[in-house]
Amino acid sequence: MSQAWSYLVPPDRYPTPDLRRRIRIVTATALIFAVVGVLRGLLMLVAGAPAGAAVLGLAAVTGLSITMLNRRGSSIQLTGNLVVGALVATCVAISIARGGVGTPVTAGAAIAILLAVLACGVRVALIWLAAVITLISMDAGLQLSGLGFEDQVAPNRQFILDFSATIVIPSVIFFVGVAFEWTKSAALREQIAAEAERQRAEHLAILTESERLAALGTLTAGIGHEINNPLTYILGNLQLLQMELESSREQRIMVDETLSGVQQIRDVVREMMTYVRSDTEEHLQPVDVAQTLQTAIVLSQSHLKRVNAFTFDQQPVPPVVGSPHRLSQVWINLLVNACQATSQNVDEADDVRVRLFTEDSLVCVEVEDNGVGIPAEIQSRIFDPFFSTKGPGQGTGLGLSVSARIVEDMEGTLSLRSLAGRTVFRVAMPICVESTLAPPPKLRSLSQPVRVLIVDDDMRIGRVFSNLLAPHHEVVAVDSGTSALSRLREDSAWDVIVSDVMMPGINGAELLDVLQEESEPLCTIPIIFMTGGITDAKLRLRVIESSRPILSKPVSPELLEDAIARVLTT
């Protein structure tokens, strides 16, 4: 039946459900009209009534024509008025030819008015009601004057009853149809309002969650900034101790272990800062998928340590086009979900596996767990917003939905394959064919002594850099932008300025603006920014737009020397 409707009323030509409903009513009426016209016309022809047979034959042709118009996607107003007009004209013609005003006309006129309400709307149906009353009144006038056909019934008491019924019944049907449409419209409005309220609540929840995550990101960035500053001088001092303890093996081991632990803290903070970065900060670029997976694994360690076995099967893969931190967000969501799924195991050890490989022209990542699996009846809903298989308070139901959207934005797909005791989430992304990831540049070293002015509100950072770069270079540290300007105006013979970004008073970006307004040589001294994290979005944008090098704290002496060498050779 649905295939027949699709053939008669193509869905692509009538996009809305209400429009398809109206067109189907018109089409069904036109088909019935055509069939009844053919059958009734043949009977009237056999009975010796050629005039009535001709009228019904014309009605059948009209019904078939309207059906074909609907199949071609004609306007509902056009075909609806055609079928109503054909029905009204047929009823009135039969009334004049066969007996005058009576019951058949009453039924036919009532059907025409109901069809007008359902197909064309209340206003058009009201016009047709007026037309029907007018035509029936004219037919009654012909019957009263004796100007009709010979077989018309003479006016009598029954005529008055028939005429009244012929006027009243279509009018009653009109108001019944109007009441039905208004009731349906009211129900539809309530449904639309309920859907709008549901979407508003959903959007509000998403907005609330986004604001919470944004606040968490800001808080994390601030914490990262406060951690990175002391990490800078802790690492620097440990490196100095490492150089001075060549003769003491035990003390050297202690320093090495401490240095390794601090470097691990540095790496975790760096990955965390990458993860909470705002979407607006990044553009799509060639991405090393293996590196983003490593980031996600580092940040998911607290969950991965709880599983019995974690394996990472990594094959060399080409880059994809995407956003590094957003891909890390996807992997973290999938890894955390896998770890939580395996926690429900009671009969076997929990196991999480990650595979990275290429397949055809796609880079694929599969995250597999041996949890309880996802039932087949809910797998189609698993990527819906706010749908969650976890208990109350254990999840927002947004993780998989957001992950699927992120992957789709990068022209990839996120799919699910789950059986009892085994679930695999698969991400497939097209290979980046336009460019490849460039190998990391080799670190440069300074071939001759330089004068470096360090500007940082934490003087311990300035002192550690002075110690690390000495004795080959002259390094002076000041604790504010104001002090830096005073020092520069007294002595302008500096090769490079290394400035923190977030400082009280004059920050790094403002220091650059002031120097650019100064005369030479101050305006030409290159500046390198270093930061433990910029929490102010406007300040971050100003620093990025300045096109100056940006070093993330903690900064190793090798990276600092490389940055200085690069700005002095460009």
Q: What would the DSSP string read from start to end of 263-307?
A: HHHHHHHHHHHHHT--GGG---EEE-HHHHHHHHHHHTHHHHTTS
Whole-angstrom distance, CA of residue 230 vs CA of residue 44: 104
The reply to whether 446 falls in a domain is: no
Of 175, 199, 223, the residue at which a domain comes to its end is 199
Q: What's the whole-number average pLDDT of the chain?
A: 76
Task: Summarize pLDDT for 142-197 with one digit per residue, the tens.
Answer: 766 665 544 445 556 666 666 666 676 677 777 776 777 677 667 667 777 777 78
463 against 13, higher pLDDT? 463
Of 165, 199, 233, the residue at which a domain comes to its end is 199
256 against 280, higher pLDDT? 256
Contact (Cβ atoms closer than 8 angstroms) between residue 170 and residue 133: yes
**Mean pLDDT throughout 519-540?**
86
The reply to whether 445 falls in a domain is: no
Which of 13-17, 96-100, 468-472, 520-524 has the least mean pLDDT? 96-100
Nearest to 224 by CA among 258, 259, 267, 280: 267
One domain, residues 532 and 562: yes
- CATH code of the domain in which 479 resides: 3.40.50.2300
Which of 3-7, 327-331, 451-455 has the largest mean confidence?
451-455
Sign of CA dihedral 149, 153, 154, 160: negative
Question: End-to-end distance of the chain based on CA atoms, in angstroms?
Answer: 75
Whole-angstrom distance, CA of residue 433 vs CA of residue 82: 58
Is pLDDT at 404 greater than 80 in this prediction? Answer: yes
The reply to whether 440 falls in a domain is: no
Give the list of residues 6+ apart from residue 142 with CB closer than 8 angstroms, or none: 96, 100, 148
Which of 137-146, 155-164, 333-342, 446-455 has the least mean pLDDT? 155-164
One domain, residues 264 and 296: no
What are φ and ψ of residue 437, in 5° steps?
Answer: -70, 125
One domain, residues 79 and 140: yes
One domain, residues 360 and 484: no
The reply to whether 444 falls in a domain is: no
The reply to whether 73 falls in a domain is: yes
One domain, residues 263 and 289: no
**Mean pLDDT throughout 312-325?**
87
One domain, residues 406 and 525: no
- Rounded alpha-carbon distances, angstroms, from residue 476 to 176, 240, 484, 492: 92, 18, 10, 13
Q: What is the pLDDT of residue 156?
A: 60
Of 173, 199, 225, the residue at which a domain comes to its end is 199
One domain, residues 172 and 80: yes
Per the structure, how many domains does the chain have? 4
Q: What is the pLDDT of residue 485?
A: 92
Whole-angstrom distance, CA of residue 525 vs CA of residue 508: 14
Contact (Cβ atoms closer than 8 angstroms) between residue 526 and residue 569: no
Contact (Cβ atoms closer than 8 angstroms) between residue 450 and residue 473: yes
Q: What is the pLDDT of residue 248?
A: 64
* Domain containing residue 301: 283-430
One domain, residues 159 and 68: yes
- CATH code of the domain in which 378 resides: 3.30.565.10
One domain, residues 360 and 416: yes
The reply to whether 208 falls in a domain is: no
The reply to whether 278 falls in a domain is: no
Which of 77-86, 174-183, 522-531 has the least mean pLDDT? 174-183
Q: What is the percent of the chain with per-residue pLDDT over 90, rounded to a whole number?
A: 12
Q: What is the pLDDT of residue 507?
A: 92
